Amino acid sequence: MSKKLDDNSDLKQIGKKRDVKRKTLPALAMAGPVSLWMILFVTIPMLFIIYISFMSRGVFGDVVYKFSGESYQTLMDATYFKVILKSLRVAVFTTVLCLLVGYPFAYYIARKPKETAAKLIMLIMIPFWTNSLMRLNSWLLVFQTNGPVNSFLQWTGMTDGPITFVYTDGLVVLGMITNMLPFAVLPMYSSIEKLNKSFLEASADLGANGATTFRKITLPLTFPGIFSSIILVFIPTLGIYTVSDMLGGGKVLYIGNIIKNQFGSIRNWPLGAALSVLLIVITMLLIFLYTRFASIEDMEVV
Amino acid sequence: MKKILALLLTMGLTLSLTACGGGTKDSGNDAKEPAAGGEETGGEETGGEEAGGEEAGKEEAGGGEASSELNIYMWQQYISDDLIANFEKENNCKINLSYMSDNADAITKLTAGGGDEYDLIMTCDAYMESLVAGGYVEKINFDNIPNASNINEAYWTAKEYCVPYLMNYIYIVYDKEKCPVEITCYNDLIKPEMKGQISTIDGARNLFPIALIALGYDPNSTEESEIAEAYEWLVKFNENVVAYGNAEQNLTNGTASVALTYDGNASWAMAEMGENNTLAIADFKEDAVQLGFDLYVIPVGAKHTDLAEKFLNYICDPQVMAGNLEEYPYSCPNEAAVEAASDSYKNDPARNFSYKENVFFQEDVGEALTIYNDYYQKLKVGE
């Protein structure tokens, strides 16, 4: 009896060793470099940012390593509240538009045969191989006062004089959407593509019309995709400032601009760091929400 | 599914980070303007630093020999490639140029450490006082720079510590045909009929002085009440602004009819308009315009001081500088060089204005800088 037990524990030992070889090593090999990368280039800089945010600013704009909560006190100023509110508003607006444009497109691609779908996905990805600043600059060139669009409009006689497209909110929104659309389309595409078609057939069999099927079946089942699209578009948009700077003429400051200025011309690194931390907190909250939603919904899908 | 999403999410986050870094918008002579961020330039910098470090090591081993490497940190698109190539050939050395995207970058290099990676750093007159006070720059041995005598002393602050390179007037240039108002003072810019007509340079310390002058105050005021009034003035100004930055392009492509910009950029815009140039420099009667210098300093701990001094002497040579001005038609404090420059430079309409003496300089405003920045943010955040 006792011998048998011993055998058993030996077996367990061997099994454990084998497990280490079979599972842990490959896992380490796969996740190791990424983890190292993330620790070196994301975690450590992030911790440093948090550290700096509690330091004080020197007379000469340098960081003095002396504890101070002043930066966070400054954040209480109404100006920053307004900026964050404004940035949130733009981010929400862009996200909603991206979803409205992206969902039908993702739906359309997902319903195509595999090869056509791959081609259509490529169409979205190709512009992304160009630097975003290049793309923004080309929008400026296309829409500038003596640019091709205005020349064409005048040539067709639709307008007498040139229309000012550049440095308007419309162009900023256009720039935002073209920058963010792939991030909206791809997750929704993967969600819609996974959707089991038999659900739709069953729904039709039970007498639901197209609209009802969409509302009751397609939309809820693709919700994880929609939600990750929201996150993917919303977070970058919150911090981005190049679009409004270039296409909007730099007339409005967003939270990204303010952070950039603190590290640049204004040279108040602790305040810039504190603002970054605030942005990280907002982002974390959203990711927390995302994990709650996505995990629950995923289970339901599978 | 979840893994793909997580991956995409990471991509998204990274994107937002790189987006914050931005890049230099580089077009025409625009590189002089403080552009967004500097990830690309950052790459070049480190490249230059590494090369410099290695080379320095070798030299120390050799001991006492002339340097063969010079590391310079300055604005992009601001010095002739020919000049650099010729200097390299004459002195049998290699120049590593690294570029800044904002004046603050140079200050950060000098004050936050890393300044000794360079032998010459470009900065501007406004910072000289505090750089000297902070002990961040080396005294320059002018015995080795005889050509410096060509530089007009009136344009030389902190004379022992720097060599002026080029200078910039920040003035008003406008399209005589398109602009609804004939501009003779800053107050013309806030007239309601100017709505959507102005393209201007950005930055608290460029915008507030013109408002302070328009109101009759000291352009470097440290009084909060005066700065607050200037803010009110700028709110009206801001309503008329169509865009900050890119002034010369906005003038030539017809987006704006007035610009507050550097004379070098105005020169570019006028040259671009060619025969049909309708741009003119505003004929100011009383208001002073800002004059700023870009100058070279030797950071404390620089490793190739001998070559740095040779280089400074070289660029102060009238013929050399005259050639450089051909390519970068900015104003120059080197009077012998201006004399030696071509007729096209001397007759440049962008420098043909009567009030060259009526200027003010940006001064260190000390703690008041925070007040400026607060109001600047308020201005840009709006309601």
What are the chain A neighbours of B373 within 8 Å (beta carbons)?
261, 266, 268
Would an 8 Å CB–CB cutoff place B135 in contact with chain A? Answer: no
What are the chain B neighbours of A224 within 8 Å (beta carbons)?
1, 5
pLDDT digits 0-9 by tens, B177-190: 889 899 999 999 99
Are both B297 and B314 inside the same structural domain? yes
pLDDT value for B65 = 64
Are both B250 and B370 inside the same structural domain? yes
Please return the burial class of B92, using the count of CB atoms within 10 Å of its CB with bins 0-12, 13-18 and 19+: exposed
What are the chain A neighbours of B244 within 8 Å (beta carbons)?
249-251
Inside any domain, residue A64: no
In the block, which residue shows the tokens 């073209």? A178
Q: Which of A175, A176, A184, A182 is nearest to A138 (CA)?
A: A175
Inter-chain residue contact A231 with B12, CB threshold 8 Å: yes
Q: Which B residues, 95 through 114, put their C-beta within 8 Å of a C-beta on chain A?
A: 102-105, 107-108, 111-112
Inside any domain, residue B129: yes
Inside any domain, residue A67: no
Nearest residue on chain B to A264, alpha-carbon basis: B104
Inside any domain, residue B82: yes
Inside any domain, residue B280: yes
**How much is the ipTM here?**
0.74
Would an 8 Å CB–CB cutoff place B4 in contact with chain A? Answer: yes
Are both B138 and B200 inside the same structural domain? no
Give me the mean pLDDT over the B63-80 stretch: 83
The Cα A204–Cα A197 span in angstroms is: 11
Inside any domain, residue A270: yes
Give me the mean pLDDT over the B209-218 stretch: 94
CA-based nearest distance A1→chain B, Å: 47
Inside any domain, residue A255: yes
DSSP for residue A167: T
Structure tokens at A217: 């079946």
Are both A158 and A269 inside the same structural domain? yes
What are the chain A neighbours of B8 within 8 Å (beta carbons)?
183, 186-187, 228, 232
Does the pLDDT value for residue B44 go beyond 50? no
Are both B103 and B193 inside the same structural domain? no
pLDDT digits 0-9 by tens, A252-296: 788 888 888 888 777 788 999 999 999 889 888 877 877 776 655
pLDDT digits 0-9 by tens, B298-328: 999 899 999 999 999 999 999 999 999 988 8
Are both A32 and A125 inside the same structural domain? no
Structure tokens at A258: 């303010």
Give the residue ranges of chain A where pLDDT is below 70.
Answer: 1-9, 11, 14-21, 60, 293-302
CA-based nearest distance B340→chain A, Å: 36
Inside any domain, residue B351: no
pLDDT digits 0-9 by tens, B116-156: 889 999 998 888 888 888 888 999 999 999 999 999 888 88
Q: Which domain holds residue B133?
A: 30-167+292-345
Q: Which domain holds residue A231?
A: 72-301
Does the pLDDT value for residue B358 go beyond 50? yes
More confident of the two residues B332 and B5: B332
Which segments within B85-235 are labelled E, that is strand? 94-100, 120-124, 162-175, 198-200
Convert B346-360 to b/e letters by CB count within 10 Å (16 or more is b): eebebbebebeeebb
Q: Which residues pair with A246 in a beta bridge?
A: none
Are both B280 and B306 inside the same structural domain? no
Considering CB atoms only, which of B34, B242, B254 is closest to A146? B254
**In this structure, what are the phi and psi dihedrals at residue B342, rounded to the nearest 5 degrees?**
-70, 165
Inside any domain, residue B6: no
Inter-chain residue contact A60 with B130, CB threshold 8 Å: yes
Are both B46 and B103 inside the same structural domain? yes
Confidence of residue B35 (pLDDT cuts 50, 70, 90): very low
CA-based nearest distance A246→chain B, Å: 9
Tally of structural domains, chain B: 2
Are both B147 and B231 inside the same structural domain? no
Tally of structural domains, chain A: 2
pLDDT value for B312 = 94
pLDDT cut 90: percent of chain B above it: 45
Are both A120 and A264 inside the same structural domain? yes
Does the pLDDT value for residue B55 go beyond 70? no
DSSP element (H, E) containing B259: strand B258-262
More confident of the two residues B352 and B27: B352
CA-based nearest distance B49→chain A, Å: 20
The Cα A99–Cα A226 span in angstroms is: 8
Are both A172 and A145 inside the same structural domain? yes
Q: Which of B108, B81, B109, B105 is nearest to B95 (CA)?
A: B81
Inside any domain, residue B350: no
